[in-house]
Amino acid sequence: MPLSASAKAACGGEEVLIDGALQGRSEAFGELIEPHLQTLNRLASIRLQSDTEAEDAVQQTALRAFCHLHQFRREATFRTWLCAIAFREVSQVRRSRSTVHLRPLHNTYAATLADPAVSPELQCQNTQQVERLHQALLKLPEKYRSVIQLRDLHELSIAETAQSLSLTTPAVKVRHSRARKLLLKSFKTVSRRGARNA
């Protein structure tokens, strides 16, 4: 009985599949990439918040990986190389958008705001706080905004965030710490401005 793609990869078969794909065997490339599709879909979905765009980005990633497989130096894992391609594809989609698309922070706190035990006055106050936090997040540079999104909004682990952003885990820790400080500073600025205009 032939080994599955994941079993082949686990026993070093990934190298065999890469060599087969480089020789023009498309079925070898299919077996090579199949175990990684879920990771690619998750990465694209988190960053794009659109199933259609995520699917397109993953398909484009697979196509680019197939066309440029000869450039894979095997210094990193095939999974890491794929994720780097996917991240570039996702970034290209995001740049092509006319406006920044972020998951509304209101969704994160929807359950709290919908709690009937919370008074209308407190609900109003909470809504204003969420809106100010959203505004503060939008003011951050992309590299800091993305790490806040992945770590705090989507609750990815440090390792998953590092993979999504093509960074080392120490770099993610440093950037996340810096991002939180900048977000707090931005939030205070937005809040002061909102208080003056109230």
- Cα–Cα dist 194/124, whole Å: 14
> How many angstroms separate the CA atoms of 185 and 180, rounded?
9
- The pLDDT of residue 15 is above 60: yes
Q: What is the mean pLDDT of residues 46-72?
A: 85
All structural domains of the chain with their residue ranges: 5-96, 105-197
- Rounded to whole angstroms, how far apart are CA atoms 148 and 154? 9
pLDDT tens by residue, 81-139: 888 888 888 887 877 664 444 444 444 443 433 444 444 444 444 556 667 777 888 88
For the chain, what is the mean pLDDT? 75
* Angstrom distance (rounded) from CA 163 to CA 165: 6
| Position with higher pLDDT, 95 vs 21 | 21
- One of 3.40.50.300, 3.90.470.20, 2.130.10.10, 1.10.10.10 is the CATH number of 105-197, namely 1.10.10.10
The band of 1, judged by pLDDT with boundaries at 50, 70 and 90, is: very low
Predicted pLDDT of residue 197: 65
Overall size of the chain counted in residues: 198
**Domain 5-96 bears CATH identifier 2.60.410.10:** no
- Is the pLDDT score of 6 beyond 50? no
Determine the pLDDT at residue 9: 41
Which tokens is 190 given?
Answer: 């937005």
d(CA 28, CA 2): 13
Contact 68, 82 (CB under 8 A): no
On the question of pLDDT at 171 being above 90, the answer is yes
Closest to 160 in 3D by CA, of 10, 49, 37, 46: 46
CA 179 to chain centre: 16
Q: What is the mean pLDDT of residues 136-161?
A: 82
Q: Identify the pLDDT of residue 148.
A: 83
